Structure 1
Amino acid sequence: MRIRATVAAVSGALALSALAVPAAQAADSTAAQRADVAKIRQAADAASGRAAAEEGKPYALNVTFSNFKIAKAIKVGTTNHVAATVTYTLTHGEDVNIAAADFITDPYIYKGSFTSPDNRLYGNKKAKCTAASATTATCKGTIDVYPGAHELINTDAGTWKAAAEATAFNGQDPEGETFDITKVGYKRQDGLGTTLMQRFSKLTVNASPEPVKKGKTITITGKLSRANWDRGTYNGYVEQPVNLQFRKKNSSTYTTVKTIKTNATGGLKTTVKATEDGYFRYTFAGTTTTPAANATGDFVDVQ
């Protein structure tokens, strides 16, 4: 679930609540609660810097977050839904009822600044918390990514920061006529960790001719491509170093033969002399924006 900077700029709590929940999750049973949280979040943002007692602002909920754990990297292709598990500890005051049906806490990640992010990603459902003591709980949620719904653009690849939030509605209904936002508690906290959002990569290899006479030339081609979130396709990753590796027929270990770079379309091509039966593959170490990849070894029969 995303919130882009363009969405955050929309004026009016109702407008934000409508855009904060993607169509793919519109039928989710917690969609209404998520829209309500979006309203509280917007009110808290709009009221930042004002006096705490000013009308129209939720009060500061007595909670903190710690022990935030998320995968070091989230690898996202062009169509498939990706869910990254997140766990964290929620510490709260005795006056905060985390078991209440209208208490909601979520982990999220964001790109850019905390107060004005370029993009934010949440989970489909609120995190589930289990009390560990009277004032602490262990919570588990997800970050759900739908690249096919244009939740990401290519410039989103790289480091994202982690945060969490909690909202206690305390029986207040944002759609009700008597709704009093000052009776709603809200807290969010950043600086909880980081993760890499990466454009999923693919790597191929083909060694020919097969079979080949010993001492003759083997031509090894391939291609390194990665997800293009702007277009929803895979495109060549250009000017990237890739290792050509060889594994003897009865061995389980690959050794590097040489390193070459991908061309202007992500293509790979090099030659070696045939010496013995074995498998050739290309391997890519990865970058901050793109995960490592190994091609499936291609067997060459040397006669």
Structure 2
Amino acid sequence: MSLGVTEGYAPLDLPNAGKPCQTYYKIFGDLKSCVTPLIGLHGGPGATMSYMLSLADLAEPSDGIPVVLYDQVGCGGSTLLPEKAGDVNFWTVQLFVDEFHSLMKHLEIKTYDVLGHSWGSMLGQEIAVRQPAGLRRLILSSGLASMKLWEEATRKLLETLAPDVVAKIRNHEAAGTFDSPEYAEAMNVYNKHFVCRLDPHPPEVIATFKALEDPTVYGTMEGPSEFTITGSLKTWDIIPRLFKIKVPILITNGAYDEAADSVIVPVWNVLPRVKWYTFPNSAHMAQWEERAKFMEVISGYLKLE
């Protein structure tokens, strides 16, 4: 039996964009089934749904969980807004929360589970603290609760790399030469250790790295790299608001993940209904690095009574 895939565009009302906007989405499986759909929120910001496409496995008949993925505005197949690069007043967390609910309304989805990966986990928590009626469960995949904790963890990981790699990264950061081929080569070493340990990287992951070369959203909200946070998310910290999350949560990360335990442990410490699974052979992309086990863990959690 072939898996049904639907794709389309949902209108997105962004008055400050200066032009009509839309969100590109893909649906795997049947939203009209009696199974609660899983909505995937990609990372970056600006990383596109490409590296999340493995989640379509959950929609196969063996699990039968409808999966909705979408490119957040500003990247991929959604409306691109390069003219808004650097505009921190435009690229806000609230913009992406609003886009999520706009898409749910367009697709007439009233009850849903959310899986947010990396920045997507931040967005997932921002959605959850607002206590929307439709949210049933939240999965924080390689996520974080505070950008300060993230910066501390990724800096610590950086120091474990070969001294020459660390020196190249430090030198180019000091000079601001983030477009240097040498810097890109050094960053590739970091990525192979702490982002995706598969060699070669899956094409879907390569496509996402390519998408992140566009600095419009990532550069504005994050900065030039995973450990040099200069964008508007630098002070992001949801820890004081975690108590507002009322739904059950599953935390996942990898043993070699740049999303180290320390960046997400506040969720575990604060909230009562939290489960945690660490993938022993993965970095930041367990959905590829341990694909079958990842789907088993996610499916098992979503099917809990």
Tell me whether the two structures share a fold, i.e. TM-score over 0.5.
no
Query: Whose helix proportion is higher, 1 or 2?
Result: 2
Q: Higher RCO, 1 or 2 (CA under 8 Å, sep at least 6)? A: 2
Query: Whose strand proportion is higher, 1 or 2?
Result: 1
TM-score range (shorter-chain normalised) is under 0.3
